Amino acid sequence: MASLMTFKLAVHDVPYGGAKGGIRIDPRKYSERELERATRRYTVELAKKGFIGAAIDVPGPDMGTNQQTMTWMKDTYMTLFGEKDINAEACCTGKYVSQGGIEGRVESTGLGVYYGLKELMEDKSFMDKAGLSVGMAGKTFGIQGFGNVGEWAAKFISQDKGIIEVIIEWDCAIYKKGGFKIDDVIAFKNEHKSLKNYPDVTEVTIDHPMRFMTKKVDVLIPAAVEKSVNKSNASQIQCKILAEAANGPTTVAAEDILRSKGTIILPDMILNGGGVTVSYFEWLKNLQHVNPGRLTKRWEEKM
């Protein structure tokens, strides 16, 4: 994962290296207070070993984390080093805007996936290879992982008249012929914390969510964990375009199988770089100590 991050940042010309780290727990099983204690302790341990800092290593949000998590990290680091490090606020990214974050960071990875897909799907030579007509409108999509990345990607795709027919979560998968109303799905998940009982579906599975990876769609977007597409399911996957929104979702064996079938694979290190790109701008904002746009606004004199 660290190597993939290194290559991704090089491709996007972002001046970071690559690293990965985390806490091995299921955040769904812990209270907010417990998650705060774990996050703060993790930050202290990173600091003790010299593994965090604006010029050392700058963590960003990933699976199981959010703006609150990153704000806890920033707050802990500033408690330890705020008096000595003028750039302490830049120790991590993905924070609340009021705590040094930047507008657009939450949706940036999903939006980047949408922009990448849109650019390619407007290209006739690319769509000819996929055996599809030009444009996103009317194409069917499957989303595996309806967290921050998958949710925002689905939202932007549906706004561009793409049809989201399959949504696969960790505890269930839902399918609707003709596509879901994504805003309704998002609202239901926010209220119930699951899609198990979502009412407007053609088919649902709880016991084997990954089975819906093989539903026939034009574009399949794995946006959850690595190795979701592997040799055990690659031969049954029926999409024409596999758009990697997660980090490393396709194994080498699965890629060989998909390519032999003529499936076009859009690599993660190109498609899901929106998040780290916006994190870079948040880092720059923190280092400059000036809000973006503050020095470029012009005020016209009232005549």
Burial of residue 32 (number of CB atoms within 10 Å: 0-12, 13-18, 19+): exposed
Max intra-chain CA distance, the chain: 72
Does residue 227 carry a catalytic annotation? no
CA 173 to chain CA centroid, Å, is 19
Beta bridge partners of residue 271, listed in sequence order: none
Cα–Cα distance list, 34 to 31, 40, 59, 92, 259 (Å): 5, 10, 20, 21, 45
The whole-angstrom separation of Cα 147 and Cα 33 is 22
Amino acid at 43: T
53 bridge partner residues:
57
CA dist 93 and 77 (Å) reads 12
- Identify any residues that bridge with 242 across adjacent strands, giving them in sequence order: 220, 265
Which is the catalytic residue, given 8, 20, 118, 181?
20
Radius of gyration of the chain (CA): 21
- What residues are labeled active site? 20
